[in-house]
């Protein structure tokens, strides 16, 4: 067994590998760029080596720097995690030449499965079901259009290398095909250093289901069940679960056996994932094989009880798996939510900045797990993927797993950057999701105009208003106890209040019960009994309302309150009846007219400006392209107008709200 390994990665996956290595008694070496100098994985590792500037191309993608870090520290093996160099066969070969062990599959398997065209050919030869498409590399957008017309729209354009939703576009007509080819090749070049694009038939309303395989160097290969990964946005998975609510036992067996057959055909070792597209009749087709540890591997670990990272390390050290197919079974149900630094209310644009407050839910062995690479006070950088953490929850069945996830999301506190927790909670509460009626178009179908809080299923719309009133009552009770008040003029605390939210005025009565530290609340003709031990410094208010347990994120904002529960964020102002009367008379501030300006919605690199001063643009026309967090984001004209001024040029680094164009 190794005595020291280097993790050629960053963020949550580096931290996750360090934890397993520590349990195995293996020392760890972290590598870091300028942006990650104070990162969590650097703090957790036994040693840390600086490998260059912030851009990944100058640090985490530099093989020579990582091999040099191994020499300097005496590391015997390298775990690549996912992304970066994890599926780079040249990196594997370079490590072998330096007498270092790569904790992953052989170079030949990486090469064969890393190229989507080669892998598709090999899959067909191995007897694995494949999707119709063009058996070659696209040389131009014109060729892409010709092949799309031959295959029939819709088609999928995707990079032959890499994964994670980068370099992928769906095209339903010629315009989308030409633009998709350009965007996909640009993203592939910047993310993987390989701009080759292939094209294949896109299957409408498919499910994305993958099989986890594990193989050793002694000829033993097993499959560890499936993961349902159909909930995606822009081809990026956001919620995964194991097992799939769609598969039956026979389909699961056939998919697993085909996955093992493919792995055996390329002499595979270590952890790998064979991804399939599955239609409504449970017909399944090979999509690709990821020759690395998947982001969503924890759901498999939660239901099988296996540590995939430990198995990868042991296999790399030459040990046998010691697993037999008939012994492997899923116990319970697990779900994973990817928590991203992005704003669902503004088309999921990435968010950067400092984590002013970061308080994940408390882990519980076998029930709640948080894999994260950040900490309170740390910074979300523009240079890397915007994922903050993975929240994994397990239950005896799917309903219980969902319930546990809802509770955990309610208790996940993030402040300082925008995040998608409300959106994740909204999906958990969605009736269609609860029924397991999923496909890769779920988010586009259920949130066609983007995410808005009004789309959320409100389980208890009165609860946040009641909690705001109770919080206000607690603040007023504390103020009434201040010493030194003028005799005869002491502060008196009322029982009757008015809660103002979304322009509506709600009368509410809050009376404390001294005996059991509870409150009786009368709200719009309904009566509630509430108990809570919340104190003023806490971000989570936990309590019981009418014998039902709940947890809610709370924050005092000036004179008001912000409350988040089950995917809904509520802003409330609690006033005395007289103050509420006066509040109704207050003039409302008019929003500034921003329609004459195109502003940058995020910090990022201005890749392209598609118009010039004096151009007449139509609604929906491309105006500019911004690259942020390894993705290209196209800014389009919200209305038809004439460009009066161009304030920036390609190559400029933009800040949030920086003006790019002005319109007449």
- Catalytic sites, residue numbers: 288
The phi, psi pair for 429, rounded to 5°, reads -90, -5
Tokens of 386: 């915007």
Residue 210 to residue 291: CA distance in whole angstroms: 13
Could you tell me which of 526, 522, 542, 545 has the C-alpha nearest to residue 534? 542
Residue 471 to residue 481: CA distance in whole angstroms: 16
- Tell me if residue 62 falls in helix, strand or coil: coil
Residue 176 half-sphere exposure toward CB, CA atoms < 13 A: 13
CA distances from 278 to 118, 209, 247, 436 (A): 21, 7, 9, 14
- Other C-beta atoms within 10 Å of 506: how many? 19
Alpha helices (runs of H) in 393-540, residue ranges in sequence order? 398-410, 421-429, 431-435, 442-446, 463-480
Q: At what angle do helices 297-304 and 308-316 cross, to 10 degrees?
A: 100
| Neighbouring residues of 347: CB distance < 8 A, sequence distance ≥ 6 | 450, 601
Residue 299 to residue 228: CA distance in whole angstroms: 10
Q: List own/partner pairs for 592-598 with CB under 8 A and 24 or more apart.
A: 595/638, 595/639, 595/663, 596/641, 596/662, 596/663, 596/664, 597/659, 597/661, 597/662, 597/663, 598/623, 598/624, 598/635, 598/637, 598/659, 598/660, 598/661, 598/662, 598/663
C-beta separation of 465 from 572 below 8 A: yes
Cis status, amide bond into 509, omega within 30 of 0 = no
C-beta separation of 552 from 467 below 8 A: yes
Cα 148 to chain center, whole Å? 31
- What burial letters (b/e) apply to 319-354, b meaning 16+ CB within 10 Å? eebebeeeebebebbbbbbbbbbbbbbeebbbbbee
- Other C-beta atoms within 10 Å of 165: how many? 18
644 membership: H or E segment, kind and range: strand 641-646
């Amino acid at each position: 067994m190794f005595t020291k390994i280097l993790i050629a990665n960053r963020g949550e996956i580096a931290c996750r590998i360090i934890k397993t290595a520590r349990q195995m008694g293996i020392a760890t070496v972290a590598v870091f760029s300028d942006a990650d100098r104070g990162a969590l994985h650097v703090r957790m590792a036994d040693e840390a080596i600086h490998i260059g500037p912030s851009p990944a191309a100058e640090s985490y993608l530099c093989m020579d720097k990582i091999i040099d870090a191994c020499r300097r520290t005496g590391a015997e093996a390298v775990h690549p995690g996912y992304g970066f160099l994890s599926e780079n066969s040249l990196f594997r070969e370079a490590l072998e030449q330096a007498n270092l062990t790569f904790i992953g599959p052989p170079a030949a398997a990486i090469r064969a499965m890393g190229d989507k065209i080669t892998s598709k050919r090999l899959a067909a030869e191995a007897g694995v079901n494949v999707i119709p498409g063009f058996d070659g590399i696209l040389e131009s957008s014109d060729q892409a259009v010709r092949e799309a017309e031959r295959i029939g729209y819709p088609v999928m354009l995707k990079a032959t290398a890499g994964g994670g939703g980068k370099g992928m576009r769906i095209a339903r007509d010629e315009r989308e095909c030409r633009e998709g080819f350009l965007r996909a090749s640009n993203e592939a070049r910047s993310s993987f250093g390989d701009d080759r694009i292939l094209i294949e038939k896109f299957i409408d309303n498919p499910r994305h289901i993958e099989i986890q395989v594990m193989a050793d160097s002694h000829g033993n290969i097993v499959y560890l069940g499936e993961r349902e990964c159909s909930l995606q946005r822009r081809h990026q998975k956001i919620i995964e679960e194991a097992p799939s609510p769609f598969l039956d036992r026979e389909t699961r067996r056939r998919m697993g056996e085909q996955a093992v057959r493919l792995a055996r055909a390329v002499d595979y070792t270590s952890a790998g994932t064979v991804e399939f597209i599955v239609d409504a009749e449970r017909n399944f087709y090979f999509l690709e094989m990821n020759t690395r540890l998947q982001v969503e591997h924890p759901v498999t670990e939660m239901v099988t009880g296996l540590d995939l990272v430990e198995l990868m390390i042991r296999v790399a050290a030459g040990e046998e798996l010691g697993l037999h197919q008939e012994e492997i079974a899923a116990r319970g149900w697990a779900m994973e939510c990817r928590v991203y630094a992005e704003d669902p209310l503004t088309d999921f644009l990435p968010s950067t900045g400092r984590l002013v407050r970061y308080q994940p839910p408390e882990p519980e062995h076998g029930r709640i797990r948080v894999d994260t690479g950040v900490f309170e006070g740390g910074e979300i950088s523009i240079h890397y993927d915007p994922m903050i953490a993975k929240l994994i929850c397990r239950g005896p069945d799917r309903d219980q797993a969902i319930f546990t996830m809802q509770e955990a999301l309610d208790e996940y506190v993030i402040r300082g950057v925008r995040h998608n927790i409300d959106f994740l909670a909204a999906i958990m509460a969605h009736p269609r999701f609860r029924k397991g009626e999923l496909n890769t178009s779920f988010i586009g179908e259920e949130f066609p105009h983007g995410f808005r809080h009004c789309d959320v299923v409100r389980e208890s719309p009165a609860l946040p208003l009641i909690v705001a009133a109770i919080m206000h009552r607690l603040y007023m009770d504390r103020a009434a106890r201040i010493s030194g008040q003028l005799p005869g003029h002491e502060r008196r605390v009322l029982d009757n209040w008015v809660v103002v939210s979304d322009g509506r005025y709600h009368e509410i009565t809050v009376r404390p019960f001294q005996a059991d530290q509870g409150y009786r609340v009368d709200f719009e003709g309904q009566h509630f009994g509430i108990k809570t031990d919340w104190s003023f410094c806490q971000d989570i208010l936990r309590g019981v309302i009418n014998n039902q347990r709940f947890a809610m994120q709370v924050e005092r904002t000036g004179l008001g309150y912000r409350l988040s529960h089950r995917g809904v964020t509520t802003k409330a102002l609690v006033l005395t009846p007289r103050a509420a009367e006066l509040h109704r008379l207050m003039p409302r501030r008019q929003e500034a007219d921003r329609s004459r300006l195109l502003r940058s919605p995020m910090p990022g690199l201005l890749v392209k400006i598609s118009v010039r001063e004096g151009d007449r643009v139509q609604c929906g026309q491309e105006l500019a392209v911004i690259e942020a967090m390894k993705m290209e984001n196209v800014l389009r004209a919200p209305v038809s107008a004439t460009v009066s001024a161009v304030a920036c040029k390609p190559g400029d680094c933009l800040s949030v709200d920086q003006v790019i164009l002005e319109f007449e």
